[in-house]
Each structure stands twice: as C-alpha cells, then as structure tokens.
Amino acid sequence: MKKHDEGLKPTCREVHRLVSEGMDRELSLVERTRMRLHLIVCGACTRFNGQMALLRRAMRELPPPEVPGDTPP
Amino acid sequence: MTATLTLHHQLEAMRPQLVRFAQLQLRNEALAEDAVQDALIAVLEKPERFSGQSTLRTYVTGILKFKIIDNLRIATRERQIDCDDDQSEDDVIDALFIADGHTRDMPRPWGNPDDALEQKDFFRVLEVCLEKLPAKTARIFMMREWLELDTDEICKELAITTSNAWVLLYRARLRLRECLDLNWFGKRAVE
C-alpha cells in the first residue's frame, strides 16, 4: 500500500487514482466503497470523475465525422 | 459500378484522417499507411458486408482497428517496445496534490459533455493533445481507449506489468485532462 492509501478516510490523491484504475480493472469492494463515500462529499474528485468519463466517451467516438464539404474533393 | 465508384470516392476522402489516427496509435507513418490501405481494400473487396446499419465511417474505423491490432501484435514480436520516456512523469501526479493528499486546485467545470462532443473542433484539440503525449504513453492509452483492448491484453502485447499499465494510463489521462482543460475548456470559459 502506498502511504496515501492507509488513512481511515481516503484522500483526493487516492480517489483520483481509483477513478482512473476503476476504468481499467474491477475495484475491490473496499476500494469502491472508499471511492463512492469520498465522491459524495468531494466536489473536486466528482468533477475529475466526470472529466474522465467524458474523455472515455470522446475516445470512443474517434475519428469524428467531418463536416460535409470539409474534405477536399 | 457507380455504387463502387462512389464508395471508392468516399473511402479516399476518409483516408487522410484515418492515417492520422493509425499513426497516433502505431507511431510509424509507413505502418499507418499500410494499416489504412489494408482496411480500405477489405471494404472495397466485400462492399456487400457494409449493411448500412452503421455509418460508413464507423464501419471502416472498426475494420481499421482490427488491422491495427494485428499490426501491433506483429510489431511486438519483431521489436522491443521502447520503455524510456515518462521517467519524470511522477510530477504529473504530484503536481495535482498538496502534501496531505488534497487537490491543489478545484478542477474547472467542463459543462455538459454533449456540448463538447458535438463539436468538431473539440476533437481536433483532443487529437493534438494525443500527439503531444510521450510515445509509449500514447500507444498504451490508444490501445486501451481507442482500440478498447483490456489491460491484460495490453500487458501481454507490451510485456509490462498490470500495475505499470495502470500508472501509465492514469498519467495519460491526467496529461490529456490538463491539455483539454487548457486548450478547450479554459478558452471557452473566457469567451
């Protein structure tokens, strides 16, 4: 365990990491619970969580449709 | 015949953009050209497979992704992946937090996601941000988020550990978040 992950209450540093790792692996029940409880009370991490979701959605839409007439003939 | 010509024309129009994305992933122009060429030929050889259920762009992109995944597998066997960049990247994480683990700054609100995703310019900025990532970080991030490979597969292809992969992906997301924040969301907030 890293030094920031050991407290009773998770820090933003831990929760940011969990938000990202949660996109790549299944978090443990303990990790999920720590993250969710923190997100309820933390605006910064909630925003970060939303930004990560947007980033994923955007990547799945690549390449975006070009505007008609935008491509050279 | 006319339909084939039209299809050919449409595919040619997509080619430059597809090559750019293939190159973001493969980091090699010749390989990118080859992958796109293979994908376009595959579509032209069996045009009847395109059912019109998705857009042609989505269909071709799907095929291109398969071609790139094949290509990555061959490339992995043939040469060792460069593991050098990102040595100083702990800064990317450290810079966000103060000593007690709280965020240094409140992240800027990004507004309604649909607003950004409806704008072509947003994707241009995203593309530039992807180009700015260190090569290895970009490759692994594109494998995960564009080719949608799972972490185990990525680790197998790149011969890295899962924890290494999670850290690289986290750093990629932080860098992209910052780049988009500065070059898209920040600029719009000012207007």
ipTM: 0.84
User: B180 is written with which tokens?
Assistant: 């988009």
Q: Is A17 inside any structural domain? A: yes
| Residue A49 · residue A19 · CB < 8 Å | yes
Name the residue range of residue B165's domain.
Answer: 90-190
**Identity of the amino acid at A37:** L
Q: Is the pLDDT of residue A2 over 70?
A: no
* Phi–psi pair at B144, nearest 5 degrees: -75, -50
Q: Distance, in angstroms, between B75 CA and closest chain A CA? A: 23
Alpha-carbon gap, residue A46 to A59, rounded angstroms? 20
pLDDT at A72: 42
Q: Are residues B97 and B186 located together in one domain of the fold?
A: yes
Alpha-carbon gap, residue B132 to B24, rounded angstroms? 10
Per-residue pLDDT of B69-120, as tens digits, reads 888 777 665 554 554 455 555 678 888 898 888 998 898 899 888 888 888 8
| Residue B112 · residue A21 · CB < 8 Å | no
- How far separated are the first and last CA of chain B, in Å rounded? 50
Q: Distance, in angstroms, between B80 CA and closest chain A CA? A: 24
Per-residue pLDDT of B47-58, as tens digits, reads 777 777 678 888
| Residue B100 · residue B57 · CB < 8 Å | no
Q: Distance, in angstroms, between A27 CA and closest chain B CA? A: 12
pLDDT at B6: 84
Q: Is A48 inside any structural domain? A: yes
- Please tell me which residue of chain A has the smallest CA distance to B93: A13
* Residue B117 to residue A58, Cβ atoms within 8 A: yes
Is B56 an 8 Å CB contact of chain A? no
Q: Are residues B58 and B132 located together in one domain of the fold?
A: no
Q: Is A66 inside any structural domain? A: no
